[in-house]
Structure 1
């Protein structure tokens, strides 16, 4: 009986007690009539006697209920103070059944105070939900569920981020930023941003690395009303190290930058001794890797605002042309001009294994979350898809088939010739005199997901590949146009602008390509992964030597569900704006040489923040 009593909400005002007494009288009469009907089977006289006794009992219960109500009101005033039970818990009490007098006698003052406290806490939770519009515990569960769903989608290895349709185009000029003019003393070869959009790193042919702070332009709390405050500011400088000959000659390295211009400032001789050709940063933003022409892979600890040289990893016999981290890990893939690929674990700064297969220097490498990698083989005109755990590779051949190429590749002389000749004649008939450029080198590669990839070469053609097809399923010729120049003997000669850089949003439907036509082109991939179409362009004069696409706001942060209720409330009221960030390294010269030069171009990095709907 006591358990049933404590599970019922009870009213505590005098007005409610009067209503309860009236309800008790009605219930008592109702109970008397029922009992009288039941006893009618035994005799009418005995039922009438019982009815008289029940009436007398009802009168006694009414008097006792009034006395009990007065005692409860006095006790409530002494214990509860100004607490008004009409405002707290009255909704639950109105529809509840009243307890009997025997149940009232079982409740002690301590139990009553406990019940009042529980009702008060419930009222506070209800007021919080009415004021904030949500429950913090429910919000935590939603954030955790969203993160788990995102992890599951990423581990499936399929494209799942539909970003292209949400981009707000065209891109305003106020959303495109450049690094400060006084930076590197050589051509910029690479630029990479941390995955949270906070830091930017650029490398150069002068062997140095610059670190910039992007919080003023990428943070949602940045003041967009004042353009002067939205700038990229320099945070740290990692100088070039002294070579062995310079050390033997007793030379000291001098750093000249900004405030120290004209003053020689000695630095620690740790770093690269030659040009830096590529950069890569781990997913957690703590480790930066650099690829050098000095055959060394540099490892840097870049936590906080500064940076520290950890170690140089060797093993390659020629320049390291490209590097890429496996997403979510500290495993690093490196490709070299010695035609090999090496795998390192930067958490222990150790070497794992070497992969062989390319017949020419490897120009580009890319990787995602899976234990997979893709490479562009340059003049061997192949794209190779590496399955690291299975120690196997898939070879995709660009360009056209020919007997000479089959012999050089070690295949049968007539393999693919019968299929290629009719296609070539048909293309010539359709072109009607239009010049067709043959692909002689594949220089760039990027992964869309674990089974789809992109490539670009010296013919200016962008190709979309599936690992289940031997030929590209879709391609766009002359993606960045033709460059025309005058010749004294041949007149006007047109040559395609080759693809110098290529990058895709990991598991997304947007990718970017760069050349030397002064524009970065964004493309949208069809949801069926069968074609792609142009989206927009970004002004970037000079050679685009590297590209990167990140979307920091698409993935919920680990700290979001740990924030206080007031902070979460503010974020709920004003959702954090989402954006796609495009990072590009632009220069006067190509990344791997100096056979062309644009004097009007600027060396540095371009950062475009494209808002999403």
Structure 2
């Protein structure tokens, strides 16, 4: 009802008044409408101009490399060919990736997780380039141990004078050092072994003088804590990969397990009859050690609380290194041995691997070894400064010499850079664990040996 009433009012006596009001304001309404129309027209015109300008730019870009007289048909044909080429390249890359890269990567990840990965890389190495020398005043005595961060950016070196130096491998300069001879309250008297955790958080050093394991912050080189428990001097240290679990070996014939997140002792492992000379570990919860004069290598299965014993036929085992979880390398009184975890005897033995001494005719001592993890490339160093690079051939049943490098001094420690492009060597005038002889003409320094590889 009200709806109709309002309509009647608009048509009644007041209609004239309303018309007059509308007539009085007509100019105002007309001006507003005109203004809105002008704005709309300007907006439309602006949009048209921008659109035309954009088309012009697109045409210029598409035709910039083409002839000015190209016909529409020729242009269409050229663009079709270009599109087909792009599609073909995409499909080729996709096929190659799907068929090769993914399968290869998944297979490598699976084998690495199982500890069975074996990359064939040794055939790519043809020799070496000019040496790079790292030397500083902090190391006044023989270099005994070196270790490298998992990313390959930093190198740590230790000396018989107790000094420890952190190096940058990006520019081969010293970053920071810890003075030796116990000059600091928490300093070290004699370093014979070093290890750095995979995450780059901890650096540990074995001190002969105090029988302690010194723990440092690997980034700042600040002292954190002493780990005490060994009754003999510590001869070997290694972190389990991707963990803060530390394994230590010592002259007291036992292996100790530590948790560095809690800075706590976990357990001790016994079995060797003589002083342990070296220790190594990878990702599995196990460690491998060499027993020096007891001529044994032991694989410690920590979870199973058992051990595997491998007996060598030599007189002394100086060092042992894992290649992967299935194979490992050992060396000592002149012999270089390649082992498999499933056999008690070496798969391959190279007798007098570094020849005989010119003075006494005896086999030259192999003082250190190194392995490029999960590959067929290994190296050995002797007491006369010779470094030999080997290939594990015939399914890890033989060792073939690739080339040798001559350096003056005792090769006390060696490590490959993670990319396999360099071998870093710690050289000294004296052997790592003794002072029964001195090579006066040698220099206490670190030598970086850059490798030369075949051009792909």
Q: Does 1:595 align with 2:425?
A: no
Q: Does 1:498 align with 2:358?
A: no
Structure-1 residue corresponding to 2:14: none
Structure-2 residue corresponding to 1:154: 112
The 8 Å contact of residues 421 and 450 in structure 2, kept in 1 or not, is answered as: yes
Determine which structure has the larger strand proportion and give its number. 2
The 8 Å contact of residues 389 and 403 in structure 2, kept in 1 or not, is answered as: yes
Q: Secondary structure at the match of 2:319?
A: strand
Measured after TM superposition, the shift of residue 481 of structure 1 is 0.9
Distance in 1 between residues matched to 2:246 and 2:101, nearest whole Å: 30
1:236–1:453 distance in 2 versus 1, CA, 3 Å: same
Distance in 2 between residues matched to 1:547 and 1:532, nearest whole Å: 19
1:147–1:199 distance in 2 versus 1, CA, 3 Å: farther
Q: Does 1:356 align with 2:270?
A: yes
Structure-2 residue corresponding to 1:444: 319
1:82–1:540 distance in 2 versus 1, CA, 3 Å: same
1:146–1:473 distance in 2 versus 1, CA, 3 Å: closer
Deviations 1:113-144 (A, max 9, x none): xxxxxxxxxxxxx99x97xx99xxx9x99999
Distance in 1 between residues matched to 2:106 and 2:348, nearest whole Å: 34
Alignment equivalent of 2:216, drawn from 300, 320, 331: 300
Deviations 1:341-376 (A, max 9, x none): 011122332222211110000001111111121111
Distance in 2 between residues matched to 1:592 and 1:207, nearest whole Å: 14
Distance in 1 between residues matched to 2:107 and 2:422, nearest whole Å: 23
Structure-2 residue corresponding to 1:606: 447
Q: Does 1:545 align with 2:412?
A: yes
Distance in 2 between residues matched to 1:185 and 1:144, nearest whole Å: 51
Deviations 1:257-277 (A, max 9, x none): xxxxxxxxxxx52232x2111
1:217-232 matches, within 5 Å, as 232=172
Distance in 2 between residues matched to 1:194 and 1:341, nearest whole Å: 23
Q: Secondary structure at the match of 1:449?
A: coil
1:455–1:183 distance in 2 versus 1, CA, 3 Å: same
Measured after TM superposition, the shift of residue 76 of structure 1 is 7.4
Distance in 2 between residues matched to 1:181 and 1:299, nearest whole Å: 23
Which residues of structure 2 form unaligned runs of 5+?
1-43, 63-81
The 8 Å contact of residues 108 and 117 in structure 2, kept in 1 or not, is answered as: no
Distance in 1 between residues matched to 2:338 and 2:292, nearest whole Å: 17
Distance in 2 between residues matched to 1:473 and 1:510, nearest whole Å: 16
Measured after TM superposition, the shift of residue 183 of structure 1 is 3.5
1:297-446 matches, within 5 Å, as 297-303=213-219, 306-399=220-313, 439-446=314-321
Measured after TM superposition, the shift of residue 588 of structure 1 is 0.5
Alignment equivalent of 2:142, drawn from 177, 187, 197: 187
Alignment equivalent of 1:285, drawn from 200, 204, 208: 200
Q: Secondary structure at the match of 2:282?
A: coil
Distance in 1 between residues matched to 2:445 and 2:393, nearest whole Å: 32
Q: Does 1:235 align with 2:235?
A: no
The 8 Å contact of residues 163 and 179 in structure 2, kept in 1 or not, is answered as: yes
Distance in 2 between residues matched to 1:355 and 1:85, nearest whole Å: 80
1:186-205 matches, within 5 Å, as 186-205=141-160
1:241–1:610 distance in 2 versus 1, CA, 3 Å: same
1:461-540 matches, within 5 Å, as 461-485=335-359, 493-526=360-393, 528-540=395-407
Measured after TM superposition, the shift of residue 611 of structure 1 is 4.4
Measured after TM superposition, the shift of residue 466 of structure 1 is 1.3
* Root-mean-square deviation over aligned CA pairs: 3.2
Deviations 1:56-115 (A, max 9, x none): xxxxxxxxxxxxxxxxx9997367342339969xx9xxxxxxxxxxxxxxxxxxxxxxxx
Q: Secondary structure at the match of 1:348?
A: coil
Distance in 2 between residues matched to 1:478 and 1:154, nearest whole Å: 33
Deviations 1:502-524 (A, max 9, x none): 12111111111111122111110
Alignment equivalent of 2:170, drawn from 189, 212, 215: 215
Measured after TM superposition, the shift of residue 241 of structure 1 is 6.8
Deviations 1:299-342 (A, max 9, x none): 11122xx4211111111111000111222222211100000001
Larger CA deviation: 151-160 vs 206-215: 151-160
Which residues of structure 1 form unaligned runs of 5+?
1-72, 92-125, 217-231, 243-252, 254-267, 400-438, 486-492, 553-578
Q: Does 1:171 align with 2:142?
A: no
1:531–1:185 distance in 2 versus 1, CA, 3 Å: same
Distance in 2 between residues matched to 1:364 and 1:479, nearest whole Å: 20
Distance in 1 between residues matched to 2:147 and 2:384, nearest whole Å: 22
- TM-score where L is the length of structure 2: 0.77
The 8 Å contact of residues 389 and 404 in structure 2, kept in 1 or not, is answered as: yes
The 8 Å contact of residues 159 and 448 in structure 1, kept in 2 or not, is answered as: no
The 8 Å contact of residues 331 and 366 in structure 2, kept in 1 or not, is answered as: yes
Measured after TM superposition, the shift of residue 284 of structure 1 is 2.6
Structure-1 residue corresponding to 2:187: 271
Distance in 1 between residues matched to 2:448 and 2:106, nearest whole Å: 31
Structure-1 residue corresponding to 2:35: none
Measured after TM superposition, the shift of residue 170 of structure 1 is 2.1
Distance in 2 between residues matched to 1:330 and 1:609, nearest whole Å: 31
* Equivalent residue pairs, number: 382
Q: Secondary structure at the match of 1:495?
A: coil
Deviations 1:180-209 (A, max 9, x none): 253412221112222322222111111111
Distance in 2 between residues matched to 1:314 and 1:144, nearest whole Å: 48
- TM-score where L is the length of structure 1: 0.58
Measured after TM superposition, the shift of residue 603 of structure 1 is 0.5
Q: Secondary structure at the match of 2:111?
A: helix
